[in-house]
Structure 1
Amino acid sequence: MTEYLPAADWTARADLAALVTALDPEGTGNCRWVGGVVRDTVLGIPAKDIDMATTRSPEETAARLTAAGIKCVPTGIAHGTVTAVLAGGPVEITTLRRDVSTDGRHATVAFSTDWRDDAARRDFTINALYADPRTLELFDYHGGQADLAAKAVRFIGDARQRIREDYLRILRYFRFQARFGSIPADSEAEAAVSELAAGMKGLSRERVGWELMNLLGLPNPAPTVRRMAELGVLAQVLPEVRESGLTALEALNDRETHLNVPNDALRRLAALLPADSAVADQVAARLRLSIAQRKRLNSAAARETGPTDARALAYRIGIEEARDRLLLTGEPVAVLDGWNVPRLPLKGGQIVARGIGAGPDVARILRSVEARWIKEGFPDEARVMELLDAELT
């Protein structure tokens, strides 16, 4: 029985229709939507990135797009990929491929015109779904729809072979397991990722960091992360994690759910790690985190246990960093909702105007007034002037 992709907002986009016309004006079926956009639409999930596969060579694809007035960027033309820049967002278009050789990090590919060749080189059955852009007819060569329905994340063909082609697929497996899978997981997949986990050591740090942060940003990654630890996978990418870190992540996940706090991958990473700035620096460098991410991870590592004045903390280190620490230590955080960090309504010039000579005394008085102002819960300017009077007296 022929099955079809459900209609969605993106399937009705005019710019995508123009793209299809440019690549396949005769309607011969030489291009199809592929991968995540098809998978998510089958599940009724809003689609993000849109990818297309085609039997045309990358050079011909680029030429047809240019002729149709569609901006084309050769983002990976050696591997068969060009990107069409459309009003509704970019679309990656990749020529059908088959693997010739792999080294666990990169694959040497040959272009193909066989859709089954292309499907066979993909990682998981749920990612090897294709849809005709005009009729929305679905093409499923490896039982991906059945696996979606069963919440089964399975490698295509031999799991060990798929992993040896690219060891990053181990982390991708856990990301998809956390997002789409059920418990218990596929036994063959788990055996393969456990056996071959050490192969991840040769991966680029950027790729590992990207996959790990995307996994931690999912709604409830804690059970999957614990399973990664049990299978010996987590130790290959985050050897700093101990049982206390896994427990902390579980507690944080529960707290975020109870308080309806948005998912935050960096805060979850901080939960996994010990409260140690040196460790935070080491992990941030290894995962190639941005400067802003490193700053937040370091701030979270400086968390302290015990009662904390939430607003005083936020005044000192910032709202986002304070919220991280409070959530990680289990302290109330609602007091920060809708609150903006105030500015001390007192400047050094006002102190000088009261007869204090410019210099260290001004700074000392300013710090003293500020400390009392914070302790009193950030009162208004009139009260600050009273505090200044008391300090000068």
Structure 2
Amino acid sequence: MNPAGVNPAGMSPVAPGGPPSLGDAPWLADPATQRLLATLGADGEEARIVGGAVRNALIGEPVEDIDIATTALPEEVMRRARAAGFKAVPTGVEHGTVTVVAGGRPFEVTTLRRDVATDGRRAEVAFGRDWDVDARRRDFTMNALYVDAGGTLFDPVGGYGDCLARRVRFIGDPDRRIAEDYLRILRFFRFCARYGRGEPDGDGLAAAVRGRAGLRRLSAERIAAEMTKLVTACSAATVMPALSETGLLGRVLGGIGLPARFARVSALVPARSAARRLPPALGFVALGVLVAEDVDRLADRLKLANALRGAMAALVGAQVALGARKAGLGPVDSAAVRRLVHGFGADAAEGALLLAAADCGCDADAGHLAALLAVARGWQAPSFPVSGADLAALGIPPGRGMGERLAALKSAWIASDFTLDKAALIARVENPPG
């Protein structure tokens, strides 16, 4: 018997003294979940929940998505689901995956499978009925845990012990797992940051270095999606040094990474974020952006979404406007923060403050930083109270002159810390200041 007391073949109930049953877990006991498992597991077929839901339940993390593995073929999954009144969508039917909506929530249901051929990016699969084979084609041991409708845990590859130890370990030969899909290199670091504890597994780290050339075979979009998850992971700062020292970070970013800066920013994230996660824009800027041109370089290389590119550009713009990299945050006051929020948005203002505190090269006044961050988070930027129609009513014709008048009024409004109201601004038009 292994230390966890789990049947290593994963084919029969766990012996007494093994891990407790998950039968009382709310997400498993939910009537919709139970009904779907019963629907898929009837008449000679089997169905078990697999992967993230089981892993998270065992380590006390929230269970969000529920994935189901089954011996039933995709067409049979859809037939059974629809006959039971569920909605079934063939979202990845060529790879055996059907999305079933039950009780208002989606479940990814995938037929047991084995890899027939892999090319480092995708796999050609064949469907089967062997739970052990299905487990051994997965990436990490903690992701190959199964639980049936009654809460019995099945652990074909020793994932239970790794899960409780927060040890991210490849299943079988790490080189082979990586060669099947080179994105698993970044996924390894991301899982270490999200679920791991201590130093990354040595065998996995060495295999990631050996396989690093394979990253060139991946699409920029897949790399960007994985990196976005990595920079926003709760303990991302702990794995960035290894990612950088192995040369992997430079390959991904196309330039020098800044893991120490990333760590400093991460340490300053307010405790209001329980997991102390960085927003994606701040994560990428902290890790790989020093000047405005770096935003376009990084966004082009990773083909980042326009919204993320824009958020990064706003953050860098707020940094420039703040101008506190060398001077620190001492001279920055609440009015300056309100100007940042108005000009670039609250997220950019908060990010600029954190970067300034990290970049100033001195110990930031924690109380002062906290007060400034509170302003960035709590102040709602008002709308400029004067419009072109207001000036037209005063007899000012549309055109360049009106635009210049509006710009001057807006500058005065901002300079007043947004206190001048419409009447006071209109008065400036009718009776310009001496």
Q: TM-score w.r.t. structure 1 length?
A: 0.92
2:348 is aligned, of 317, 321, 335, to: 321
Residue aligning to 2:309: 294
Question: After superposition, where does 1:24-173 map in structure 2 within 5 Å?
Answer: 24-25=41-42, 30-133=46-149, 135-173=150-188
Q: Partners of 2:392 and 2:432 in 1: how far apart?
A: 13
Structure 1 residue 22: Cα displacement:
1.5
Query: 1:275 touches 1:300 (CA, 8 Å); kept in 2?
Result: no
Query: 1:365 touches 1:391 (CA, 8 Å); kept in 2?
Result: no
Structure 1 residue 359: Cα displacement:
4.0
Q: Partners of 2:66 and 2:142 in 1: how far apart?
A: 15
Structure 1 residue 291: Cα displacement:
1.6
Q: Partners of 1:186 and 1:264 in 2: how far apart?
A: 27
Tell whether 2:269 aligns with 1:256: yes
Q: Partners of 1:116 and 1:357 in 2: how far apart?
A: 78
Tell whether 2:215 aligns with 1:188: no
Q: Partners of 1:225 and 1:69 in 2: how far apart?
A: 47
303-312 or 253-262: bigger deviation: 253-262
Amino acid in structure 2 at the alignment position of 1:17: Q
Q: Partners of 2:390 and 2:135 in 1: how far apart?
A: 72
Residue aligning to 2:215: 200
278-287 or 28-37: bigger deviation: 278-287
Tell whether 2:280 aligns with 1:240: no
Change (3 A) 1:90 1:356: closer
Question: After superposition, where does 1:14-25 map in structure 2 within 5 Å?
Answer: 14-25=31-42
Q: TM-score w.r.t. structure 2 length?
A: 0.84
Q: Partners of 1:9 and 1:387 in 2: how far apart?
A: 64
Question: Which blocks of at least 5 consecutive residues in structure 1 are unaligned?
Answer: none
Change (3 A) 1:146 1:377: same
Q: Partners of 1:206 and 1:182 in 2: how far apart?
A: 28
Change (3 A) 1:8 1:352: same
Q: Identity, % of aligned pairs?
A: 38
Q: Partners of 2:272 and 2:36 in 1: how far apart?
A: 44
Q: Partners of 1:139 and 1:184 in 2: how far apart?
A: 27
Amino acid in structure 1 at the alignment position of 2:263: E
Q: Partners of 1:390 and 1:248 in 2: how far apart?
A: 51
Structure 1 residue 263: Cα displacement:
3.3
Amino acid in structure 2 at the alignment position of 1:246: P
Structure 1 residue 208: Cα displacement:
1.0
Structure 1 residue 16: Cα displacement:
1.4
Q: Deviations over 1:175-200 (max 9, x none)?
A: 11011212222111111111111111
Structure 1 residue 335: Cα displacement:
1.6
Change (3 A) 1:70 1:294: same
1:223 is aligned, of 200, 213, 238, to: 238
Tell whether 2:418 aligns with 1:378: yes
Change (3 A) 1:364 1:145: same
Structure 1 residue 207: Cα displacement:
1.4
Q: Partners of 1:386 and 1:333 in 2: how far apart?
A: 35
Q: Partners of 1:318 and 1:57 in 2: how far apart?
A: 50
Residue aligning to 2:383: 343
Change (3 A) 1:56 1:354: closer
Q: Deviations over 1:49-69 (max 9, x none)?
A: 111111111122222112222
Q: Partners of 2:407 and 2:90 in 1: how far apart?
A: 57
Q: Partners of 2:137 and 2:377 in 1: how far apart?
A: 48
Change (3 A) 1:350 1:206: closer
Question: Which blocks of at least 5 consecutive residues in structure 2 are unaligned?
Answer: 1-14, 325-330, 358-368
Over the aligned positions, Cα root-mean-square deviation in angstroms equals: 2.2
Structure 1 residue 283: Cα displacement:
1.9
Query: 1:241 touches 1:274 (CA, 8 Å); kept in 2?
Result: no
Q: Partners of 1:379 and 1:231 in 2: how far apart?
A: 53
Q: Partners of 2:181 and 2:293 in 1: how far apart?
A: 31
Residue aligning to 1:333: 373
Secondary structure class of the residue paired with 2:67: strand
Secondary structure class of the residue paired with 1:90: strand
